């Protein structure tokens, strides 16, 4: 019988290592939480990450078009590369949690838990750095700004993050905490589509203005635009498979200035959500054809601008099962739940998963003393995330990497 951890004896387990750095990760998360930054340019957040990674055996580079951080860990043995990703940005929300480490920046808050993601990824970098010699391959740590918009994953891919280790990453993993819905400490995931694509449609209907008393002398764009709004709903229910759903919501509609003036134009904007590349292409084509047809039927013109947002976030089936199995091995089967349906939100890790097979998983971080069903959701000013989950998150990302690299080496 040897003592558990003699100074020169066997190394600590990953679990013990993760627990040993938990208080450091909490401290980092709270420092990040106090000083949230929004968008592509996050200099103070970047500086905190660089300081937290300092001293680890990493090749660190920073972004050109955005304040990203890419860190590469080269293992002691040859092998493939695995990518782990965290987002970095906060939201334009005024914090109302009452937490002692609340935001000190007026009108900005880490209301989506990206502060926890950063601390978790730093934790994984520390755990894996301590195992560098035995690592059969490389790890790319991707710290990404602007997930909440305008999007940081695409510019990081353009700047080479997927090939940062010298070869294209063979797998990519990320996680997202939630302040409600899932119980504390429970992971949820899905094979295939996990989150929707979210695109915007901007429509301007052009007619000819005139006097409200003599519409036959004008070309009124308002009735045609109203017809378009109702036709969009009909198109969704008649033109799309209910098992490959599409959501179209017109959230803004503007036309005219007074009751007796027929305006020149009417304008409306819609959000379009879809859960497969096929449905996305089909709804874009369907909307364009139908709206121009309605305009022409009324002798009007319609300018239809479809602005692509983030694509569908699609988990690789095998990688999603690998993540679920790893969670069950680490924490027990009751800590993982398969989601029956995708989430109707969107996420720009989708750009990474479109290039590299991988999986994204959710982690319940609602403080256990609060009812997770009734708790404030991500993005709410009252959203609270319990940083007790940090060690488990870091351990999971490290364990996924160790297993995935061992598989291909």
For Zn ion, the closer CB: 152 or 358: 152
Which part of the chain contacts Zn ion (CB under 5 A), choosing from 110-118, 159-167, 290-298, 395-403?
110-118
Q: Which residue is nearest to Zn ion (CB)?
A: 112
Options 35, 95, 147, 387, the catalytic residue: 147
Least separation in angstroms between CB 345 and Zn ion: 7
Options 17, 35, 89, 386, the catalytic residue: 89
Rounded distance between C-alpha atoms, residue 275 and residue 191, angstroms: 13
Binding residue for Zn ion, selected from 40, 112, 255, 304, defined by CB under 5 A: 112
Q: In a 3-state reduction of DSSP, which class is residue 271? A: strand
279 binds Zn ion per the rule CB under 5 A: no
| HEC string for 15-77 | HHHHHHHHHHHHHHHHHHHHCCCCCCCCHHHHHHHHHHHCCCCCEEEECCCCCCEEEEEECCE
For Zn ion, the closer CB: 112 or 175: 112
Strand partners, 247: 273
Rounded distance between C-alpha atoms, residue 267 and residue 206, angstroms: 9
For Zn ion, the closer CB: 174 or 286: 174
Query: Which residues, 6+ apart, have CB-to-CB distance to 317 below 8 Å?
Result: 191, 192
Which part of the chain contacts Zn ion (CB under 5 A), choosing from 95-103, 107-115, 294-302, 303-311?
107-115
116 binds Zn ion per the rule CB under 5 A: no
89 is catalytic: yes
Which part of the chain contacts Zn ion (CB under 5 A), choosing from 105-113, 234-242, 261-269, 330-338?
105-113
For Zn ion, the closer CB: 112 or 195: 112
319 is catalytic: no
Asked if the peptide bond before residue 150 counts as cis, ω within 30 degrees of 0, the response is yes
Rounded distance between C-alpha atoms, residue 150 and residue 234, angstroms: 31
- Cα–Cα distance list, 239 to 156, 198, 225 (Å): 36, 19, 20
**Where in the sequence numbering do the catalytic residues fall?**
89, 147
Q: Which residues of the chain form contacts with Zn ion (CB under 5 A)?
A: 112
């Amino acid at each position: 019988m040897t003592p558990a951890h003699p100074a020169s004896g066997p190394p600590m387990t990953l679990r013990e290592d993760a627990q040993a750095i938990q208080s450091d990760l909490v401290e980092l998360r709270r420092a990040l939480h106090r000083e949230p930054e929004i968008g592509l340019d996050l200099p103070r957040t970047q500086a905190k990450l660089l300081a937290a990674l300092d001293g680890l055996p990493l090749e660190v580079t920073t972004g050109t078009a955005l304040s990203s951080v890419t860190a590469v860990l080269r293992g002691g043995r040859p092998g493939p590369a695995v990518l782990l990703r965290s987002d970095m940005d906060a939201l334009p929300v005024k914090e109302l949690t009452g937490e002692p480490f609340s935001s000190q920046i007026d009108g900005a808050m880490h209301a989506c838990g990206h502060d926890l993601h950063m601390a978790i990824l730093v934790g994984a970098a520390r755990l894996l750095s301590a195992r560098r010699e035995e690592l059969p391959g490389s790890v790319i740590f991707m710290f990404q700004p602007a997930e909440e918009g305008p999007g940081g994953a695409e510019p990081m891919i353009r700047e080479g993050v997927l090939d940062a280790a010298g070869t294209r990453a063979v797998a990519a993993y990320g996680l997202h905490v939630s302040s409600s819905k899932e119980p504390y400490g429970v992971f949820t995931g899905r094979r295939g589509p996990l989150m929707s694509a979210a695109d915007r449609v901007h429509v301007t209907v052009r007619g000819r203005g005139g006097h409200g008393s003599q519409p036959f002398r004008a070309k009124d764009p308002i009735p045609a635009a109203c017809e378009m709004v109702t036709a969009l709903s009909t198109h969704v229910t008649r033109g799309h498979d209910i098992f490959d759903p599409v959501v179209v919501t017109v959230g803004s509609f503007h036309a005219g200035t007074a009751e007796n003036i027929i305006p020149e134009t009417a304008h409306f904007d819609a959000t379009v959500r879809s859960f497969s590349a096929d449905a996305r292409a089909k709804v874009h084509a369907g909307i364009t054809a139908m709206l121009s047809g309605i305009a022409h039927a009324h002798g009007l013109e319609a300018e239809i601008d479809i602005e692509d947002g983030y694509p569908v976030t699609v988990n690789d089936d095998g990688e999603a099962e690998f993540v679920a199995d790893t969670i069950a091995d680490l924490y027990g089967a009751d800590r993982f739940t398969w989601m029956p349906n995708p989430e109707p939100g969107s996420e720009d890790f989708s750009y990474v998963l479109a290039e590299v097979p991988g999986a994204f998983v959710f982690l319940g971080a609602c403080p256990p003393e609060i009812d997770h069903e009734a708790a404030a959701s991500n993005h709410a000013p009252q959203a609270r995330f319990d940083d007790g989950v940090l060690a488990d998150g870091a351990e999971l990302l490290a364990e996924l990497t160790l297993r995935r690299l061992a598989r291909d080496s």
